[in-house]
Amino acid sequence: MEYKTVPWRKQYVKNAHKMKECFFCTAAKRKKDKQDLILYRGEHNFIILNKYPYSPGHLMIAPYKHLDSIEKAGEKTSYEMIDILKKSLEILREVYNPHGFNTGMNIGHSAGAGVAHHYHLHVIPRWVGDSSFMPIIGKTKLTTEDLHKTYNNLYTYFKNSRD
């Protein structure tokens, strides 16, 4: 197996078990959107780029309210999340022209949630052949774009969508 260095992940892995505050809540409160990779703020939800994306444009839509499952959210939060999902798909189609999307939630650790205590919706652009042979044969995960490039590519579109 080939190992690739991902130094930006060291701090998270080193301190994940010690984290007292949720990174979604921290990012939402800090108001340092570019630094925290927040693309859009709605009334009840916001969009943040996934720091460990499956593909360029991998977004997460999260509520401001710290809840572990969507059924605990109010109607306004749930409806707005779906509206933001629709807008995200529209923008990602325009910017990246993907062949399809994966969208969904992993609710609870047993379902694969990396952050089980704050539910969120993943939006992942996909292309035919984007999984390639590398994870299977090369046991290496590749992405075609740096996070800051993705942020810059999408930010203007989300900023203009507030109208």
What is the full per-residue pLDDT of the chain (163 aa) written as tens digits?
455 555 555 555 555 545 568 999 999 999 999 999 999 999 999 999 999 888 899 999 999 999 999 999 999 999 999 999 999 999 999 999 999 999 999 998 888 888 889 999 999 999 987 764 444 444 445 566 888 899 998 999 998 887 5
- The answer as to whether 2 is a domain residue is no
**CATH number of the domain bearing residue 85:** 3.30.428.10
**H, E, C per residue of the chain:** CCCCCCHHHHHHHHHHHHCCCCHHHHHHHHCCHHHHCEEEECCCEEEEECCCCCCCCCEEEEECCCCCCHHHCCHHHHHHHHHHHHHHHHHHHHHHCCCEEEEECCCCHHHCCCCCCCCCEEEEEECCCCCCCHHHHHCCCCCCCCHHHHHHHHHHHHHHCCC
- The answer as to whether 31 is a domain residue is yes
Distance CA 106, CA 92 (A): 22
Whole-structure pTM value = 0.80
Residue 124 has what pLDDT?
Answer: 96
Sequence length of the chain is 163
Residue 35 has what pLDDT?
Answer: 96
- One of 44, 58, 118, 120 is an active-site residue; which one? 120
- Residue 99 is among the residues annotated as catalytic for this protein: no
Tally the domains of the chain: 1
Return the structure tokens found at 54.
């499956």
Return the structure tokens found at 127.
């292309």
Return the structure tokens found at 20.
């007292």
- The answer as to whether 114 is a domain residue is yes
- The answer as to whether 130 is a domain residue is yes
Residue 1 has what pLDDT?
Answer: 47
Residue 133 has what pLDDT?
Answer: 44
Distance CA 72, CA 49 (A): 24
Beta bridge partners of 45: 63
Domain containing 52: what range?
7-160
- The answer as to whether 1 is a domain residue is no
- The answer as to whether 108 is a domain residue is yes
